[in-house]
Amino acid sequence: MDGRSGTEEVAYAKINLALHVRAREPDGYHRIETLFAFAEDGDILRVGPGDGLRLRIHGPFAGALGEDEDNLVLRAARALAEACGAREGAALLLEKRLPVAAGIGGGSADAAAALRALNRFWEIGLGKGELAEIGRSLGADVPACVLSRTAVGTGRGDRLEPTEPPGLKGMPILLVNPAAALSTARVFESWTGGGGGALPDDWRDGRNDLEGPAMALAPPIGDLLDALRRQDGASAVRMSGSGATCFALFETDSERDHAAAAIKTANPGWWQLPSRIR
C-alpha cells in the first residue's frame, strides 16, 4: 500500500549488538556507546486518509498499549505536523507484533515508522536526517530507528555514525524474549558503574553492560542466554538494549530455524522472531 490513498511502513526491530555504558550524567541520563542493527521484520504501521489524527492498534501485543494521546505513534505524528505545518489528518493502524518493554525499540520503532510514513503520505519530502532530528525529542532510540540501518550510537545513543561491518548484512538472527517486560529506566537505575572501556573496533569483542542489572530484575534472562549458547551455530549471544530480549546470530537460516524450533519445544511460552539483519 503506497501513494496518496495509503502508506505502509515496517517498524523494524532494533538490536543492540553491543552496548557499553560509559557514565551516568548529572541529569540522570546515561552516556553510552552502542552498535545498532535492525532486523528485517517488526511491527507494521498503515496510514490512510482520516479526519484529525486517529490511531487503532491490533495484533498479538495490542493489549499492552493504549490508543490515547500519549502513544508514541500519535506523539510522532503531532511532532511532524507541528514541525512542517501539516494540516491534513490521517488514520493510523498499528499491527503490534513486537513485545513491549523488550529492549528491541518497539515504541521508538513505531514512532520512527510514523515519521517516515506520514512524511510520504503528507508529501512533505524531508530526508531521514531531518526526520531523525524531529524524532530526537521523542526518545533516545528514535533517531536510530528512523534510519533503521547499522550505526554506531554515542551520547544517549542519538548521535549516529552509519557503518557496515563486513558480513553482517543479511546474517540470520534469532530474537527471543522469556515473557518478561522490563522498564528501561529501572534497568539503567540499577547500573552501578564498572565495565568501562569504549566500544571496540570489532563489535564481537564488546558486551552489553546492562545484562547484569537486567538479570537481577528478571532472572529468566540468564536461562535464555544459556539456552541460546547451547544451540549449534549460535554466535554473538547477548541481550539487546535493556532487555529482556536476547539474540543469537547464525551463519545459515537452517541453523537459526533449528535453534528456534528447539527453544520453542523447551520453552513454549517464550516469544521469538527468526529474521535477518537488514
Q: Would you name the residues annotated as active-site residues? A: 14, 141
The Cα-based distances of 250 to 170, 210, 253 in angstroms read 10, 23, 7
**Which one-letter DSSP state was computed for residue 136?**
G
d(CA 276, CA 278): 6
Residue 117, φ and ψ in degrees, nearest 5: -65, -45
Give the Å distances, CA to CA, from 21 to 31, 67, 104.
6, 33, 17
**Ramachandran class of 262: left when φ > 0, alpha when ψ lies in -120 to 50, beta otherwise:** alpha
Q: Are 156 and 29 in contact (CB under 8 A)?
A: yes
Cell of 37: 542493527
Radius of gyration (C-alpha) of the chain in whole angstroms: 18
